[in-house]
Structure 1
Amino acid sequence: MHSIKHLIKLAPFLKILGIILGLTIFVGCKSSKLSKTITKSISTAFYDNQFTGIMIYDPETKDTVYKHQAEKYFTPASNTKIITLFSALTLLKDSIPAFYYHASNDTLQLRGIGDPSFLHPYFKDSTALQMAKGYKHVSILRNTFTDDKFGPGWAWEDYDTYFSPERSSFPMYGNVVSISNTNKLEVSPNYFKDSVFQKTDKINRLYNENIFFYDTTSTRAREIPIVLDSLTTQNLWSDLLPGKVSFSHQQFNSTPEIAYSIPSDSLYTRMMHLSDNFLAEQMLVLASSTITDTLNTTLLRNYILEHHLNDLKQKPRWVDGSGLSRYNLFSPLSFVQILNKLYTTIPRERLFHFFPAGGQSGTLKNSYAGQTEPYIYAKSGSVGNNYSLSGFLLTASGKTLIFSFMNNHYTTPTSEVKKHMQNIFEHLRDTY
């Protein structure tokens, strides 16, 4: 009799336990069915001649929803910009540090720290110029910038393409010449106007000289990287401030102050949405200024990996900020771990704003569109025969999943790779 009364008392709890066990079994079956569907999809002949890695993670339950070769290394291309964004968000403030300065009587000393927004074709920041106009003498101090102008493993034949500007300590004009021909030929900076000629060959600029070529019958605007030798830099500054500017290897006369330019989020958003290589590279230069007096992105990358990403299960080979280099190697699991750190520390609305939205913005404007609104917020990465996408997927049930889907060494059109990926994404959206 005692045992029956005991069971009666426990009945409500047993009912709840039954519901919980039933739910667990249901969720388990659901996940198992989902895994079988994805596995079946990537087991088709389409994937036979490429290398594929997938990691899908539920940050709410902390469960791995699906993984396939998630701990293998892949060429990430512009997915590398995710770790660049992480670095900038970790080390930089709400506004971008523009330069160090010290003013004394009629002389202003300036030293660059990598801010890419100064006179940039899009940002058009003029903080340094406006400050300098108020002084009789302006001394630009040579910086301890120890990086090469190009990153390791960058393709040399890209020297004249818009996506491969040189890296520098005090960028100007985005380190490119902007040429357009809407009503008349316009060149910015104007200093190079007499260095632009009718295009007769495929190249946009001589290999190591600031002689530019443009199809003057075209109305399409074009950006061509500048060769940033010391003489060119001096001439660009002198063109802005005639008779005022000198260059020096000396140090500041006393402790300098820091001037700030644009809101940091505006820089991060444009870098991620347009997959802008120049902005990504300069963001690492900027971030390095917060940990050392030497502008060195190798020191910065090592610092981030050792102090902020030392729990990654596969330490990546990380060599640049943009992903231009094929030397970069990351696993899908590493990207999911980095994205999860961002997801748990950055407010959701702000974080998602950095990433292109499927069917709506940036590099995903024409891909992965939702039925009524975006369901994917992610960074793509594309370089010959490689395409990856890593970010956040919103399911119809209200869940947020973190994913990384990496494809290397395929010979089929990238458009076909995207179609197969989209089938999996939509199945995840509708069934998880």
Structure 2
Amino acid sequence: MSTATATSLLRFATAGSVDDGKSTLVGRLLHDSKSVLADQLEAVEHASRSRGQDAPDLALLTDGLRAEREQGITIDVAYRYFATPRRRFILADTPGHVQYTRNMVTGASTAELAVVLVDARNGVVEQTRRHAAVAALLRVPHVVLAVNKMDLVGYAEPVFAAIAAEFTAYAASLGVTDVLAVPISALAGDNVVEPSAHMDWYGGPTLLEHLETVPVGSDPSAEPARFPVQYVIRPQTEEHPDYRGYAGQLASGVLRVGDPVTVLPSGHTTTVAGIDALGRRTDIAWAPQSVTVRLADDIDISRGDLIAAGATPAPTKDIEATVSHLNERPLRAGDKVLLKHTTRTVRALVKEISYRIDIDSLEQRSGAEGLNVNDIGHVVLRTAEPLALDAYAANRRTGSFLLIDPADGTTLTAGMAGEAFDTVRATDTAEEDWV
């Protein structure tokens, strides 16, 4: 599963500071890989001519919102689906403006690779470091540094080498070790799909070649099985009077008929009696399949419960996590929120804002009154009901959660579980009023 095949799928996200040429790069990638339909290209060419441009503005292939076209910046995450003979791709083109960094969290949360753009004239800037930190925080396995606009610096190798060295050192300090630096010109097409004739000093792959060959996925059998229950199926028909199945998407690992499992947070144990997929019975299911699981014992299970195999996380009400705050409303200690973990939503209290991470120095700034939009920090939470969270470093799906405003349902914060602990204190009336 780690090699590229004709059917393999790579989810990747692009990020970069404003005016680094990210939308142009994505447009060039789609155009030169022959992934643009004729009517789409015709529309872009018409729009470009109406703006007095002779050549098609490839950025218009992704910047679809009127405000994006008018301001010349990317605001929302644009998803594009394309394929080459070697691989299929889901591309999330994320915003570069600091105001919309939160949207990068959305785009990169499921990505296996992040392409971080840098303008060769400006080098590594604060937003570059922020995007690298978000990629590291979200445990994106592979990072590509695309040093763009090399045509504007005379395709000079020393310029590229200095930027690549600085970024690689910063990424290493974040724990990111798989970094490939590629010198490109999105406008001219150098090293995007085709090798550049202007940079013979570069001997590495083009961007598309790397995207087609980078290892993706993982062996599901190497991960413990995690199956969040989304829906309980009880048809109660004459044909199936005693049928009870638990429907959902396998978040990780492999489930087989006969496997011993634990239902969390109750802790009851049983075995898998059957698996139904697409209306047919099967002996095995693997992530991310959507299936219905039948168990050997009649256990009280409802939406939000977790059917787990292998080493299971200990349910806890006390959670420590690194978070990225996404909302204009600050997150403060004492806030009452809803915590959504897989298919389970519970009430929670923000007990403590432990520290905020300085993106430039990576220092932990303690004493923060709260977290503002785009801030990354560490929090301590107390939930009303026990949750079975894996550490995010071990499982991105079952180690992540969202904090939600209980008043209007808006998303406040994306969380990555760190150390969860079982320390249950004596009743705290200030907390128990909510949780």
TM-score by length of 2: 0.24
Structure with the largest fraction of helix: 1
Q: Which structure's residues are more often strand, by fraction? A: 2
